[in-house]
């Protein structure tokens, strides 16, 4: 710039300086240089340079916007995007009007490409598609440009939901790549096409594409390993899809299928550039509809949908569903405050006004203050303070408010920084986002750290997710160069480990991100730092074929003489990669030259003796693998369905094992191997308990810590970690290397979010009386045993092998792999066709067969709700002696089974006494008497016993597994804790027919706790449920539906006086659960026609309906029910008492004949006239032959004096096909003694002989057949 003299050279010099500054991300300094370039170009009238100036200006603002995604507010970022769009538009216009036509096609295509990318960022997908199509038209022979445009068109049409069009472009891309020799591009196009088929739910073609991709020999090992994972997931999806379509009705199983499919689309299949969030939303909404129809709480569904919309960057809908989530967190200010904070952050990210964002933070702060949660408070005020600080120029900015927030933040800053310094003490957020491993990041710390520059330098360790990954780990995984630069600038530690032992440098090296590696090294990353299994970053890069990365690390001082746990060096991994990619190297001279250069440099730097030793080791491995390769080739000739990859160890498959993904269970087999290598963390069967009325905790009881055959179906269920804290993996238990998917991540943000409110605990762990430490230690020891991983005994050659057998087996941890409980074995035993695995620790070896038999009986009782008396015997039926030592059984390697000889039925009264004595609690004689009576009659009536929180758990536990058919707890004030205890007991009472909770002071919260406890269990034999005279209120809608859906055979529901009004929450009609109620009692509720119709429509075949007084807008309420009642042809009993029936009597009479099975009618206290009675009796005679019981009591006392009524009554008594068997009416005394009535009554009495009774009390006449 200093030596040039003409304006053109000056302009070009300014452009070069600006581009250099732009590459250094010094955008503010670059702007004046590019402006000078544009000004000089315009001055000299050079149209070519002017068009290029606008193009460079657009590129500058576009790249700046990417940086501002982290360093500034979303509004500023959008401003830069719009500036870029304006510059590119000007550049395009100049291309179209300029007279300088040199390279015009190329220049125009380049601008169209940039405009398409900008409009993709602005979510103007249709306009973006037009620009990409223009690129193809302008440069059809430019393979690279066409390929990039087609790839973008596939993405655009997928986002628009036009998957057929996307498939057309995907096939075009695949054909274009196959005509060339670049195998990496061929692999990429096959994978892209496979993902488009997934979007179309064409799983067969998707499977075909992924299989073809696996056969492509190229250097992109990471993508091929991801392809294997996608293939497994698609196979699983196809199976789930077929199961779902085969189910005709909505069941719990179908609900679970929807959840698994949605999670698979949202997580396992949405990797890197490939997202399937649209299908995830589809099935999460199906899951939501299913939850509502089944009566489940939709809270979990709302969380999943909100998180997925957040991943889609559709922040409007994410906020909408988070508001629904918040409605279910009203009782937990801490959770509600966290949700409000997420709403505030998303409100900011969706470019809302300052007023809206500020109000959102203010709402979060109000709830956070109520929660008394310092962690939440510090997060809210931290984000709010820095948001206000960054927006001081806003129109609505309130200086006084800012001072108040700043003052509050000053008081919390020390706590906030302390939490950062001690991450183990803070709440851990599941915010990982591994592009190759499909993890969804949460809406809290990660998104805030990546979307704002309001972070001041934070000392100490940063926050981590459940995998121990920091924000720097996640940024390196996603190749976020600007994020890494920003985090390091703020003082983020660079040599930090995750739970598996990997550093950010390892993550970058594993993926070949050389620019990231350079930045990390410049900021103090140790190039020789050891990761999992003592691997260096150079080894990590070498095994994945990232030669440039290896060369960079060598130049930065990587030590080539370091060995990993297996004694292997960098040279070993380089030679291993060379053999695996021999064909690719032969066809790609450039890659071969790079490899030779790297290998030569390693040999030059390496100790000569060590190099010879490594090469000898390598040769031995080569010969061994060549034999296997030859075997594989022979298999492939006979059956092309086999897919082999020697690096299958990423999901636990042995290197020598071949997997047939076409055969049923192929993916399951691979996954089983993985779990046996890293350990299964499947959920144990649990029940629920509440420590207090606000919070739940998790514990494991000896009764429920079993491992059963259901838990061996590991490919069918998404396993959730039992640990609330990050998993501290033992060094020797970490997964085998190498792998791009090196951790089986059993956690994601949706599961973590949905399990945060209600945790499960055993009912008998809640007792607050005289708990002793010995019991607690015993439970913890048992829980530890149940959590141990299943591994095989060492084989003779010292290698771990997995044998699958249907027989009973002993599985013991290998001595070569130390574990926390390495002496635990699992004894698998068959009990009458049901398999369970009993953990046996080293301490248990001294116990006898009697103890083992009791353990098995207890586990059987928890699963089947009846405790058997068992005899343990061998496979051929020989009984074992109860005094035999378990050590003898284990040594003999006997295959065992159990025979049920009887059922253990201990009297409930005796059990209650023993429980009270065990905790030194006085025995209540009244309860003992009731339990004794229950043992004889099968009916436990604890009416008005005032069961307290201390007493109730022991009463409930005493009836556990009992054969009671009736449980009446009326007139007891039950707490929420008692309701949870009751729910745990009801799960195990398989014979219970009737449950009465009348007058128990229950609220909707009580009902909610009971429903939550029964969430995964049905009361299959419960026929009668009485909830009458409890103030459940209008808020009980969801919990009531949940409870009713857990009672599939419920026939009678009593909801008298439960405080329902016309504000009762009505669920959408298509989501109403269908019940088969025979009897429904809604008396004494101030409800209107909406609520009545809701319950009637919910019940498919009500035979008895009772409505009585207190109805809102009574005339309309009753009248509007008649059309619905007309559909109940099987209704036998209708009670409409004191509902002002006279106002709509005409409609009532029209409806009555449609109830063809009606045999009992009660219309008392309705002020009906004599005309009404006469009409009703006529209709009964002519159109209601089955109606034989009528109650007219409490109506017009003079109605029966008139002749028409007497005649109609006589016809009803003697000329009906079925004469009236019960009649009650009110009349005057004089007329009752009239000859006509006396004669009529006498004839009726003679007809029914001795079964008739006539009562004449005051002014009431009752005729009864008994």
Which of 893-907, 961-975, 1194-1208 is most confident? 961-975
Does residue 787 sit within a domain?
A: yes
Domain that holds residue 207: 7-246
Does residue 220 sit within a domain?
A: yes
CATH code assigned at 1116: 3.80.10.10
Collect contacts of 558-564 with beta carbons under 8 A, ≥24 apart: 558/527, 558/528, 559/528, 560/602, 560/605, 560/606, 561/606, 561/607, 561/610, 562/528, 562/530, 562/534, 562/536, 563/534, 564/533, 564/534, 564/535, 564/536, 564/539, 564/737
Find the range with the poorest average confidence among 114-128, 335-349, 368-382, 818-832: 818-832
CATH code assigned at 187: 1.25.40.10
Distance of CA 823 to the CA centre of its chain: 35
Mean pLDDT of the chain: 71
Task: Identify the pLDDT of residue 1198.
Answer: 59
Task: Identify the pLDDT of residue 864.
Answer: 65
Condensed to tens digits (0 to 9), the pLDDT of residues 1069-1098 reads: 545 556 778 888 888 888 877 788 778 777
Of 903, 918, 935, the residue that ends a domain is: 903
CB hemisphere CA count around 158 (13 angstroms): 27
Cα 243 to Cα 697: distance, rounded to the nearest angstrom: 35
Q: Is the Cβ–Cβ distance between 1036 and 997 less than 8 Å?
A: no
Q: Is the Cβ–Cβ distance between 156 and 122 less than 8 Å?
A: no
Cα 341 to Cα 347: distance, rounded to the nearest angstrom: 10
The answer on pLDDT for 28 being more than 60 is yes
The answer on pLDDT for 706 being more than 50 is no
Condensed to tens digits (0 to 9), the pLDDT of residues 908-918 reads: 888 888 888 87
Q: Given phi > 0 = left and psi -120 to 50 = alpha, else beta, which region is 29?
A: alpha
Q: Is the Cβ–Cβ distance between 996 and 972 less than 8 Å?
A: no
Does residue 667 sit within a domain?
A: no
Condensed to tens digits (0 to 9), the pLDDT of residues 36-66 reads: 888 988 888 888 888 889 999 999 888 888 7
Find the range with the poorest average confidence among 536-545, 609-618, 658-667, 764-773: 764-773
In this structure, the dihedral spanned by the alpha carbons of residues 824, 830, 831 and 833, taken in order and rounded to 10 degrees, is 140
Q: Give me the residues paired with residue 714 across strands.
A: none
- The dihedral of CA 13, 14, 19, 24: what is its sign? positive
Band the pLDDT of 254: cuts 50, 70, 90: confident
CATH code assigned at 850: 3.10.20.90
Does residue 535 sit within a domain?
A: no
The tally of domains found in the chain comes to 3
Task: Identify the pLDDT of residue 538.
Answer: 92
Of 229, 246, 263, the residue that ends a domain is: 246
Does residue 337 sit within a domain?
A: no
Does residue 142 sit within a domain?
A: yes
Find the range with the poorest average confidence among 106-120, 349-363, 1057-1071: 1057-1071
Q: Given phi > 0 = left and psi -120 to 50 = alpha, else beta, which region is 438?
A: left
Per the model's pLDDT, the better-predicted residue between 628 and 1120 turns out to be 1120
Average pLDDT over residues 514-532: 89
Band the pLDDT of 517: cuts 50, 70, 90: very high
Q: Is the Cβ–Cβ distance between 78 and 348 less than 8 Å?
A: no
Does residue 557 sit within a domain?
A: no
Average pLDDT over residues 1118-1126: 73
Cα 881 to Cα 879: distance, rounded to the nearest angstrom: 7
Does residue 620 sit within a domain?
A: no
Of 876, 903, 930, the residue that ends a domain is: 903
């Amino acid at each position: 710039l200093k030596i040039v003299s003409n304006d053109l050279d000056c302009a070009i010099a300014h452009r070069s300086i600006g581009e250099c500054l732009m590459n250094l991300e010094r955008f503010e300094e670059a702007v004046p240089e590019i402006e000078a370039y544009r000004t000089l170009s315009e001055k000299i009238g050079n149209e070519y340079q002017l068009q290029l100036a606008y193009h460079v200006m657009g590129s500058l603002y576009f790249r700046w916007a990417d940086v501002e995604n982290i360093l500034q507010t979303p509004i500023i970022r959008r401003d830069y995007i719009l500036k870029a769009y304006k510059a590119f538009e000007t550049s395009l216009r100049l291309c179209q009007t300029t007279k300088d036509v040199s390279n015009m096609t190329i220049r125009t295509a380049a601008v169209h490409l940039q405009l398409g990318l900008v409009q993709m960022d602005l979510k103007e997908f249709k306009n973006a598609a037009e620009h990409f199509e223009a690129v193809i038209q302008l440069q059809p022979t430019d393979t690279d440009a066409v390929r990039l445009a087609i790839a973008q068109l596939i993405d655009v049409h997928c986002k628009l939901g036009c998957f057929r069009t996307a498939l057309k472009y995907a096939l075009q891309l695949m054909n274009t790549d196959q005509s060339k020799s670049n195998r990496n591009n061929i692999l990429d196009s096959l994978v892209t096409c496979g993902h488009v088929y997934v979007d179309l739910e064409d799983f067969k073609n998707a499977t075909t594409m992924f299989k073809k991709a696996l056969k492509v020999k190229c250097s992109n090992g990471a993508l091929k390993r991801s392809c294997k994972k996608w293939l497994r997931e698609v196979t699983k999806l196809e199976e789930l899809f077929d199961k779902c379509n085969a189910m005709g009705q909505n069941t719990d199983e179908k609900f679970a299928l929807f959840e698994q499919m949605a999670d698979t689309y949202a997580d396992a299949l949405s990797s890197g550039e490939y997202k399937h969030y649209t299908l995830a939303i589809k099935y999460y909404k199906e899951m939501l509809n299913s939850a509502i129809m089944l009566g489940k709480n939709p809270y979990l569904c709302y969380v999943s949908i909100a998180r997925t919309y957040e991943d889609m960057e559709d922040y409007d809908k994410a906020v909408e569903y988070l508001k629904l989530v918040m409605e279910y967190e009203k009782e937990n200010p801490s959770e509600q405050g966290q949700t409000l904070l997420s709403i505030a952050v998303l409100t900011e990210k969706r470019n809302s006004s300052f007023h809206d964002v500020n109000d959102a933070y203010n709402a979060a702060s109000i709830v956070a203050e109520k929660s008394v949660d310092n962690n939440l408070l510090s997060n809210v005020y931290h984000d709010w303070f820095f948001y206000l600080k960054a927006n001081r120029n806003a129109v609505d900015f309130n200086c006084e408010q800012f001072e108040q927030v700043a003052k509050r933040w000053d008081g919390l800053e020390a706590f906030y920084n302390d939490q950062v310094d001690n991450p183990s003490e803070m709440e851990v957020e599941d915010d990982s986002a591994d592009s190759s491993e499909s993890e969804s990041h949460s809406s809290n710390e990660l998104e805030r750290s990546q979307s704002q520059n309001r972070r001041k330098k934070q000392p100490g360790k940063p926050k981590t997710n459940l995998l121990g990954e920091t924000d720097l780990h996640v940024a390196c995984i996603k190749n976020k160069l600007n994020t890494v630069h920003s985090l390091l600038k703020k003082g983020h530690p660079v040599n930090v480990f995750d739970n598996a032992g990997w550093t950010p440098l390892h993550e970058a090296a594993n993926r070949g991100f050389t620019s990231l590696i350079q930045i990390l090294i410049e900021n103090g990353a140790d190039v020789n730092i050891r990761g999992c299994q003592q691997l260096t970053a150079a080894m990590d890069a070498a095994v994945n074929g990232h030669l440039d990365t290896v060369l960079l690390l060598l130049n930065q001082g990587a030590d080539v003489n370091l060995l990993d746990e297996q004694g292997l060096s960098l040279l070993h991994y380089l030679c291993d990669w060379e053999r695996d990619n021999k064909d690719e190297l032969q066809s790609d001279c450039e890659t071969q030259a790079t490899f030779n250069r790297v290998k030569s440099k390693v040999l030059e730097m390496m100790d000569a003796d060590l190099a010879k030793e490594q090469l000898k080791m390598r040769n031995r491995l080569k010969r061994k693998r060549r034999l296997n390769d030859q075997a594989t080739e022979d298999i492939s000739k006979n059956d092309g369905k086999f897919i082999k990859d020697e690096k299958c160890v990423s999901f636990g498959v042995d290197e020598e094992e071949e997997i047939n993904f076409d055969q049923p269970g192929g993916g399951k087999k691979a996954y089983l191997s993985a779990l046996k290598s890293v350990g299964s963390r499947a959920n144990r069967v649990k029940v629920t308990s509440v420590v207090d009325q606000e919070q739940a905790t998790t514990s494991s009881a000896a009764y429920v810590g079993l491992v059963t055959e259901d838990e061996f179906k590991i490919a069918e269920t998404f396993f959730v970690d039992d640990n609330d804290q990050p998993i501290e993996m033992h060094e020797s238990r970490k997964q085998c290397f190498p792998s791009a998917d090196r951790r089986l991540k059993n956690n994601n943000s949706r599961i973590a979010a949905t399990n945060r409110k209600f945790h499960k605990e055993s009912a008998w762990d809640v007792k607050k009386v005289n708990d002793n430490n010995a019991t607690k230690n015993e439970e913890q020891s048992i829980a530890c045993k149940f959590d141990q991983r299943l591994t095989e005994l060492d084989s003779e050659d010292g290698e771990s092998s997995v044998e699958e057998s249907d027989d009973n087996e002993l599985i013991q941890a290998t001595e070569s792999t130390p574990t926390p409980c390495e002496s635990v074995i699992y004894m698998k035993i068959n009990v009458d066709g049901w398999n369970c695995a009993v953990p046996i620790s080293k301490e248990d070896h001294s116990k006898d067969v009697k103890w083992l038999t009791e353990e098995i009986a207890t586990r059987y009782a928890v699963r089947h709700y009846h405790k058997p008396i068992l005899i343990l015997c061998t496979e051929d039926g020989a009984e074992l002696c109860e005094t035999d030592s378990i050590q003898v059984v284990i040594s003999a390697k006997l295959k065992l089974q159990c025979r049920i000889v009887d059922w253990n039925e201990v009297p409930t009264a005796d059990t209650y006494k023993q429980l009270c004595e065990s905790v030194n609690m006085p025995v209540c004689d009244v309860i003992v008497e009731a339990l004794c009576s229950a043992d004889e009659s099968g009916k436990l009536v604890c009416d008005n016993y005032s069961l307290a929180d201390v007493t109730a758990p022991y009463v409930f536990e005493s009836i556990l597994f009992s054969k009671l058919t009736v449980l009446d707890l009326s007139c007891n004030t039950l707490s929420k804790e008692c309701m949870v205890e009751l729910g745990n007991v009801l799960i195990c009472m398989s014979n219970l027919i009737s449950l009465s909770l009348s007058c128990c002071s229950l609220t909707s919260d009580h009902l909610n706790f009971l429903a939550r406890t029964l969430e995964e269990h049905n009361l299959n034999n419960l026929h009668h449920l009485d909830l009458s005279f409890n103030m459940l209120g209008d808020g009980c809608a969801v919990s009531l539906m949940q409870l009713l859906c857990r009672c599939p055979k419920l026939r009678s529901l009593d909801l008298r006086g439960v405080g329902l009004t016309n504000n009762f929450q009505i669920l959408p009609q298509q989501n109403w659960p269908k019940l088969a109620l025979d009897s429904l009692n809604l008396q004494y509720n101030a409800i209107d026609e909406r609520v009545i119709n809701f319950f009637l429509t919910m019940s498919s075949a009500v035979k008895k309906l009772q409505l009585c007084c207190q109805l809102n807008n009574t005339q309309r309420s009753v009248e509007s029910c008649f059309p619905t009642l007309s559909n109940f042809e099987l209704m036998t009993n209708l009670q409409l008492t004191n509902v002002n029936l006279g106002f709509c009597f005409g409609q009532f009479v029209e409806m009555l004949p449609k109830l063809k099975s009606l045999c009992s009618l009660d219309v008392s206290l309705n002020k009906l006239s004599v005309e009404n009675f006469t009409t009703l009796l006529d209709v009964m005679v002519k159109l209601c032959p089955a109606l034989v019981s009528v109650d007219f009591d409490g109506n017009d006392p003079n109605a029966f004096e008139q002749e028409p009524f007497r005649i109609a009554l006589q016809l009803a008594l003697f000329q009906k096909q079925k004469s009236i068997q019960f009649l009650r009416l009110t009349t005057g005394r004089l007329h009752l003694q009239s000859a006509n009535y006396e004669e009529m009554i006498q004839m009726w009495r003679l007809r029914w002989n001795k079964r008739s009774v006539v009562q004449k009390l005051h002014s009431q006449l009752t005729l009864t057949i008994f």
